[in-house]
């Protein structure tokens, strides 16, 4: 392969031209160093050198090509030697794409990766942007109003509540995330719920993919591909993952914030004469947690809008030890949030009231959830209201 020109090297390295600084380094040396530092950052995050393999992220493949070019040039290595504290320039295991494609010139290398350099004018070079990035951006933009958004609204409200209470966390992405049904991500400032993951299929190059159904907190939906969502998340530097409820403190023997370390999960069924209750009495349950007497708590239920202004039957009691009651209650409500009963009644003064903790869930599924909380497998399940049961996620 012939020695590439300066412009071709800059194109291949994908480095933006910067203003000349007052340091002793030349502009060209600064460009080389900046490009190398991006490779070093990749190594720090993933504890390995980038590889140019077909199933790898497009930026990793660019970094691998960049590293191969740097290793081939004595000029580059002499500039970078003092910065190479990771020994990247001497790692023989790094895939050398140039050696495996002797007949390709630099422009053909980029074309094979489906990458086109974007230049605003003859002298200003911008970062390369792949055709894949453009496709992902277009697919992400193709969103439509979610016709049944009310079905998901409570999920987003509960997520914000859980984050505020410390039950869930919003964490930055350190690597390309796995995508599973029931997960929440923050993408471009919007919370995205993975409502469904379709059947997997094989893309070109043998890459597994699947069609997703994603609902966003602004009332829109998307049917983008799983790989496209992964790419969109890596493109967004502010993207975050919303974690599942943390079970660790739930069974912590240490008492925190004055909370006692034992409690009772109770399940109630209402005797209300409201039509929706009468028609679904065996499916509508109130789920709560208390450290005291259940009988005392419900003694005035007929005058309490929390209990639908009616007497209630206790249909389930489950005693748990060494738990954090507050976290337990939030966890249960989070599990059954998709089946929350939305109802408004009037209290004894005629004021409207929206009771909480009532769910359209069969008793057997509540019992199943509690067993899974006890054996700590609950995070592997989510409640599917369309099937009226817990399903593995």
Point out the domain boundary residue: 127, 162, 188. 127
Tell me, yes or no, whether 384 and 256 share the same domain: yes
Residues 31 and 165 in one domain: no
Question: Is the domain of 143 the same as that of 42?
Answer: no
Q: Are residues 168 and 260 in the same domain?
A: no
Domain presence at residue 82: yes
Q: Check if the beta carbon of residue 334 is closer than 8 Å to that of residue 166.
A: no
The answer to whether position 315 is within a domain reads yes
CB-CB neighbours of 65 under 10 Å: 24
Q: Are residues 212 and 334 in the same domain?
A: no
User: Among the listed ranges 74-78, 288-292, 344-348, 351-355, which one has the minimum average pLDDT value?
Assistant: 74-78
Do 142 and 232 reside in the same domain of the chain?
Answer: yes
User: Regarding predicted confidence, which is higher, 75 or 106?
Assistant: 75
Indicate if the pLDDT at residue 158 is higher than 90.
Answer: no
Q: Which residues contact 279 (CB under 8 A, 6 or more apart)?
A: none
User: How many whole angstroms separate alpha carbon 1 and alpha carbon 32?
Assistant: 21
Tell which residue, 305, 311, 270, 310, has the closest CA to residue 287: 270
Same domain, 159 and 286: no
* Domain-embedded: residue 218: yes
Range of the domain at 63: 6-127
More confident: 137 or 226? 226
Yes or no: say if 264 and 290 are a contact pair by the CB < 8 Å rule: yes
Q: Which of 295, 286, 289 is nearest to 326 (CA)?
A: 289
Q: Is the pLDDT of residue 181 over 80?
A: yes
Specify whether 87 is located in the same domain as 138.
no
Confidence of residue 98 (pLDDT cuts 50, 70, 90): very low
Q: 213 - beta bridge partners?
A: 196
Q: Is the pLDDT of residue 260 over 50?
A: no
**Do 81 and 169 sit in the same domain of this protein?**
no
What is the DSSP track for 211-274? BEEEEETTSEEE--BHHHHHHHHHH-TT-EEEPPPP-GGGG-SS--TT--SEEEEEEEEE----
pLDDT (average), residues 285-299: 90
| pLDDT for residue 149 | 92
User: How many folded domains does the chain comprise?
Assistant: 3
Quick one: pLDDT at residue 139? 61
Residue 1 is assigned to a structural domain of this protein:
no
Question: Which of 127, 149, 171 is a domain's end point?
Answer: 127
The predicted pLDDT at position 234 comes to: 84
- Out of 242, 272, 301, pick the residue that ends a domain: 242
Residues 279 and 162 in one domain: no
Task: Using the predicted structure, report yes or no on whether residue 118 has a pLDDT greater than 60.
Answer: no
Closest by CA to 332, choosing from 300, 304, 290, 279, is 290
- pTM of the full structure: 0.42
CB 187 within 8 A of CB 233: yes
* Per-residue pLDDT at 314 exceeds 60: yes
| Helix (H), strand (E) at residue 115 | strand 115-116
**Span 340-344, average pLDDT:** 89
Residues 68 and 178 in one domain: no
Q: What is the DSSP string of 177-218?
A: PP--TT-EEEETTEEEEEEEE---EE-GGG-EE-BEEEEETT
For residue 337, being part of any structural domain is answered with yes
Residues 110 and 147 in one domain: no
Residue 305 — pLDDT band, cuts 50, 70, 90?
A: very high
Task: Give yes or no for residue 107 having a pLDDT over 60.
Answer: no
Q: What is the DSSP letter of 144?
A: E
- The pLDDT-based confidence of 251 (bands split at 50, 70, 90) is low
Element (H, E) at 76: helix 74-80
């Amino acid at each position: 392969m012939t020695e590439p020109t300066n412009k071709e090297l800059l194109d291949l390295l994908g480095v933006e031209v910067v203003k000349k600084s007052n340091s002793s380094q030349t502009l060209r040396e600064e460009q080389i160093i900046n490009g190398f530092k991006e490779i070093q950052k990749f190594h720090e995050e993933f504890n390995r050198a980038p590889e140019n393999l077909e199933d790898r992220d497009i930026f990793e493949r660019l970094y691998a090509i960049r590293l191969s070019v740097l290793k081939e040039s004595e000029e580059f290595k002499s500039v970078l030697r003092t910065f190479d504290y990771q020994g990247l320039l001497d790692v023989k295991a790094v895939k050398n794409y140039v050696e495996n494609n002797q007949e390709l010139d630099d422009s053909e290398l980029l074309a094979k990766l489906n990458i086109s350099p974007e230049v605003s004018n003859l002298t200003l070079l911008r970062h390369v942007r792949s055709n894949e990035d453009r496709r992902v951006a277009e697919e992400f933009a193709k969103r439509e109003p979610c016709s049944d958004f009310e079905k998901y609204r409570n999920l987003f409200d509960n997520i914000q509540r859980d984050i505020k209470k410390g039950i869930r966390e919003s964490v930055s992405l350190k690597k390309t995330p796995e995508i599973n049904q029931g997960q929440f991500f923050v993408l471009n400032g919007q919370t995205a719920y993975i409502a469904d993951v379709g059947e997997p299929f094989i893309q070109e190059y043998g890459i597994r993919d699947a069609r997703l159904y994603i609902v966003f907190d602004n009332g829109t939906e998307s049917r983008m591909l799983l790989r496209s969502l992964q790419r969109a998340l890596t493109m967004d530097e502010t993207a975050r993952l919303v974690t599942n409820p943390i079970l660790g403190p739930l069974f912590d023997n240490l008492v925190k914030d004055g909370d006692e370390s034992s409690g009772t999960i109770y399940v109630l069924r209402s005797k209300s004469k409201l039509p929706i209750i009468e028609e679904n009495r065996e499916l509508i349950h109130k789920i709560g947690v208390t450290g005291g007497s259940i009988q005392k708590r419900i003694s005035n239920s007929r005058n309490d809008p929390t209990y639908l202004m009616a007497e209630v039957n206790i249909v389930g009691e489950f005693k748990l030890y060494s738990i954090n009651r507050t976290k337990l209650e939030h966890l249960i409500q989070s599990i059954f949030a998709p089946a929350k009963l939305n109802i408004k009644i009037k209290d004894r003064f005629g004021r409207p009231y929206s009771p909480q903790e009532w769910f359209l869930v069969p008793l057997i599924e509540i019992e199943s959830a509690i067993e899974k909380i006890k054996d700590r497998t609950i995070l592997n399940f989510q409640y599917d209201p369309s099937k009226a049961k817990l399903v593995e996620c």
